[in-house]
Amino acid sequence: MEIIALVFSGLAIVVAIAGTVLSNRRSSEALELSKRAEASAVWSPVQDAVQRLIGFDPSREPVGERLANLRIAGIALADDLGWEGLDPWLKAERALGSAYAQQAMNDSSPDDTPERRLDVTQPYWTWADVLGHNLRRFRKEGYKIDEMDSLRTHALGEVRNIHEKHGWPLPPTTLPGVQALGD
């Protein structure tokens, strides 16, 4: 009788250990799924906003609402992640997108051939595509302040080049009498 009790006790221990292992495995899988869902919720709006810029012709439709959506999604991303340098980089990218859109509007005319229209809008499309790529890379690889600062510097330099090329004044970075907290 004692042997049967000992066997059942041993089986109970084996079942308990197996149950614990399976429970831990399922818990780990659920935690991983939860992390993926959280990342998707944080990153998806900005990726969606970028995708709405790719293939869009700013010389035929106003780009303002699409850039506003990018701004809104970028602010939410920066707030959610808290990465230093993310908000300034995204702000520089929006300025670059706006400059490319203005350039496309400036360089196009209603009687452009399809080939000419493609040539005029290609820099804007390339910018949007590369921005999407860079965001996906940061999502996958994580925070890299040096790369983010390099991208911000590059975007601001391109904004300057486009504005100089067309003789446009640079967009203001501050307004007299307006100051953000912490500045």
Whether 178 is in a domain gets the answer: no
Higher pLDDT, 148 or 183: 148
Whether 1 is in a domain gets the answer: no
C-alpha 174: how far from its chain's center? 25
Query: Residue type at 179?
Result: Q
C-alpha 13: how far from its chain's center? 50
Whether 2 is in a domain gets the answer: no
Whether 98 is in a domain gets the answer: yes
Whether 74 is in a domain gets the answer: yes
Q: How many domains in the chain?
A: 1
With a cut of 80, say whether residue 129 has pLDDT above it: yes
The CATH number given to whatever domain includes residue 74 is 1.20.120
Q: What share of the chain has pLDDT > 90, as a percent?
A: 62
Query: What is the domain range of residue 66?
Result: 38-166
Per residue in 26-71, pLDDT tens? 777 766 655 555 655 789 999 999 999 998 899 888 999 999 999 9
With a cut of 80, say whether residue 183 has pLDDT above it: no
Question: For the whole model, what pTM was predicted?
Answer: 0.78
With a cut of 90, say whether residue 146 has pLDDT above it: yes
Task: Return the pLDDT at 13.
Answer: 85
Whether 16 is in a domain gets the answer: no
Q: Which of 21-25, 28-32, 75-79, 93-97 has the lowest mean pLDDT?
A: 28-32
Instruction: Single out the residue of 91, 96, 64 nearest to residue 170, CA to CA.
Output: 96
With a cut of 60, say whether residue 145 has pLDDT above it: yes
* Lookup: tokens for 138: 């940061």
Whether 133 is in a domain gets the answer: yes
Whether 86 is in a domain gets the answer: yes
Q: What is the mean pLDDT of the chain?
A: 88
